[in-house]
Amino acid sequence: MSETLELAQALIACKSITPDDAGCQDLLEQKLKDAGFNCRTLRENMYPTFNLLALACHDEQAKLDGDPEMIKAQHGPYDPSGIVITKPFTLFLGHTDVVAAGDMGAWSSDPFTPTIKDGMLYGRGAADMKGADAAMTVAMCNFVRKHPDFKGTIGLLVTSNEEGDAVGGVPFVAEWLKKEHLYPTYCVVGEPSSNQVFGDTIKIGRRGSMTAHITIHGTQGHVAYPDKIDNAAHKGARLVAALLEAKLDEGTPDFPPTSFNVTNFNSGVGAENIAPGSCEIMCNWRFNPLQTPLKLQKMVEKILERERIYATVRYVINGLPFISERDGALVQALSKAVQDHTGVIPDLNTLGGTSDGRFIAPLGAETLEFGLCNGTIHKVNECTKVEDLETLTKIYEQVLEQIHL
């Protein structure tokens, strides 16, 4: 059995429902330590989120010992555990948490008992993204063993709170990296990016996401006395209609047009003769770089004013859009590795939801996402092709060879 498959199975057997790591990171840490990586767990206060950061740097500078402050002064960024970060710095990014199994009875095998059937590995997290966690880890270990004199720094960051609210997760580690001046040059996010066939998609960026929690205020009353009421549901309907009609943009060559969706619409007390005095609307925009949160917020304010709707609005900015250059060194290396190992020419696009890459891209890293097929993620009977695990490992390893030899 391949090392990647074995590790993926061991990870699936840990019931790590977000933000519980359930021992996954210990499994990765053991392997990485054995290969010479310097590992540390980063946690924010008492949050249940665990983050494992493993780094290896085999340049001359790393062999220096002595006073950390002196090394910092002489050689720049310094990892307090004793690693001098040299460039280029490639960071693999993953998560060990998974979403809940959902309808347990609908699974053909236990979601937390890795099961192989007809060349497929079944289990919660097989595709999103314990398979890729295993592939990244094995690729990194193979690489440093084969090439002890590689240049620059390679690292792995895995969090246990990607599927949840990310509190204490990658945003926290990104701040820590900033504080320590450890800026990745490249970031490979192992999220399942492949769409129809393995290798068909590399995500070179992501749209931004903003949610609005809107409370519309009216006056509740008896429907038989229309002059005494101010129906909040009617105002909510008018607001939604106006938001749907608002012309935002046509998209860019790299991004689809900004999209708007109502996700919740609640009003009324359940009675047939009471006009509601308030209406709660939750809605979300997935936006491209032609928009900013402020621009979208101003558009909402304008509509509220024009329609004379009195409302309280709370915005949550879930992520800003980011895009990496199409001719960057990482995208070139990754595209070539994908083609060499799968024969598929990957499409470079920005479709899909947000990922933790949005917290690393602002550090200046060329950030890409590439991983397994996403057809079954978050579903019952989540699975991945067993052979893709091996191929993914080889692809990640080739990327390291391209950049660090």
What burial class does residue 217 get, using C-beta atoms within 10 Å of its C-beta: 0-12 exposed, 13-18 middle, 19+ buried?
Answer: middle
| Nearest residue (CB) to Zn ion, 114 versus 236 | 114
Q: Binding string, 190-219, against Zn ion, x = CB under 5 A?
A: -x----------------------------
Which residue in the list 59, 97, 369, 397 is annotated as catalytic? 97
Q: What is the nearest approach in angstroms of Zn ion to the Cβ of residue 384?
A: 13
Query: In this complex, which beta carbon is closest to Zn ion, that of residue 93 or of residue 333?
Result: 93
Residue nearest Zn ion by beta-carbon distance: 128
Shortest separation between residue 129's beta carbon and Zn ion, angstroms: 5
- Least distance from Zn ion to the Cβ atom of residue 87, Å: 28
Gyration radius of the chain over CA positions? 24
Is 26 a catalytic site residue? no
Residues 113-172 that bind Zn ion (CB under 5 A): 128-129
Shortest CB 166 distance to Zn ion, Å: 12
* Helix axis angle, 131-146 to 386-404, nearest 10°: 40
**In the bound complex, what is the minimum distance in angstroms from residue 382's beta carbon to Zn ion?**
11
Nearer to Zn ion, 129 or 309 (CB): 129
CB of 214 to Zn ion, least distance (A): 29
**Cβ proximity to Zn ion, 166 vs 275, nearer residue:** 166
403 touches Zn ion (CB under 5 A): no
Catalytic residue among 162, 191, 366, 382: 162
Cβ distance to Zn ion smaller for residue 150 or 172: 172
Spatial contact of 129 and 191, defined as CB atoms under 8 Å apart: yes
Residue 97 annotated as catalytic: yes
Binding segment for Zn ion (CB under 5 A), chosen from 110-118, 183-191, 313-321, 367-375, is 183-191
Q: How far is the CB of 201 from Zn ion (least distance, A)?
A: 15
Nearer to Zn ion, 293 or 352 (CB): 352
> Exposed (0-12), middle (13-18) or buried (19+): which is 159, by Cβ within 10 Å?
buried
147/379 with CB nearer Zn ion: 379
Query: CA-to-CA distance for 202 and 166, rounded, in angstroms?
Result: 23
CA 340-343-346 angle, to 5 degrees, is: 90
List active site positions.
Answer: 97, 162
Query: Where do contacts with Zn ion occur on this chain (CB under 5 A)?
Result: 128-129, 191
